[in-house]
Amino acid sequence: MYANAADPISHPDEQMGGSIAIHPMLGPLWNFVKGSAGKMEHGIIDRAAAAARDLGGGGVIFCKSGKDRTAMQVTLKQSQYLITAGLSREKSNIFSNATMMRANGTRLAICEKNVGQAKYAFNSLQARFMPNLLKPPKESIAGFLKGGRVFSGEGAIET
């Protein structure tokens, strides 16, 4: 197990209740996996990323055009990094920092370059079902579409 190699514990092979002991660094991830059985939990991705980070690993977010869903994930990770790097003090600021980056950051310029409009290609129905930490600000989403046109104004984003 890599976790034991990266951060040895006193008895890595110790049996607990008939199963191998879970490394303390992986405990929160393991508990989340057990507790989310049968449910769709988006938070598991964050827990896995935190475990990888704690073990000295990194992550990659990839999308062919770098807009929309990628923007939501990248701005969340940037905001989380502000906490890790000590540049932001409160964990409660993660969402507000990510929202500020989504509304005013470079990701909207990428959207404009790719589709001709500085808005994310989500409609309000899609945004409603997104995990809270990944929701874009309401003023930065395209809106409902009808016939290839934005229902509530100018633009040509299709979802």
Residues 80-138 have pLDDT tens digits of 888 878 887 787 888 999 999 999 998 899 888 877 888 888 887 888 888 888 899 98
Residue 64 lies in a domain: no
Residue 141 and residue 97 share a domain: yes
Separation of alpha carbons 150 and 6, rounded Å:
51
Residues 50 and 79 in one domain: no
Are both 21 and 87 inside the same structural domain?
no
Q: Residue 24: inside a domain, yes or no?
A: yes
pLDDT at 26 over 80: yes
Q: What are phi and psi of 18, to 5 degrees?
A: 85, 5
Does residue 62 fall inside a structural domain?
no
pLDDT of 11 reads 55
Q: Which carries the bigger pLDDT value, residue 137 or residue 22?
A: 137
Q: Are residues 24 and 93 in the same domain?
A: no
Is 63 a catalytic site residue?
yes
pLDDT band at 144 (very low <50, low <70, confident <90, very high): low
Beta strands at 149-150 and 145-146: parallel, antiparallel or unpaired: antiparallel
84 and 47 share a domain?
A: no
- Any alpha helices (H) in 55-159, and if so which ranges? 69-84, 93-104, 106-115, 124-128
Instruction: Give per-residue pLDDT as tens, 46-71.
Output: 788 888 888 888 777 777 777 788 88
Contact status, residue 82 vs residue 88, Cβ threshold 8 Å: yes
Q: Same domain for 88 and 120?
A: yes
Q: Is residue 159 part of a domain?
A: no
In a domain, 7, yes or no: yes
From 20, 63, 109, 156, the catalytic residue: 63
Predicted pLDDT of residue 97: 92
Closest to 114 measured CA to CA, from 71, 52, 60: 71
Expressed as residue numbers, the domain containing 97 is: 69-150
H-helix or E-strand spanning residue 16: strand 15-16
| Spatial contact of 94 and 133, defined as CB atoms under 8 Å apart | yes
Q: Number of structural domains, the chain?
A: 2
pLDDT of residue 12: 47
Tell me if 143 is assigned to some domain: yes
| 139 shares a domain with 114 | yes
Does residue 43 have a pLDDT over 80?
no
141 shares a domain with 92: yes
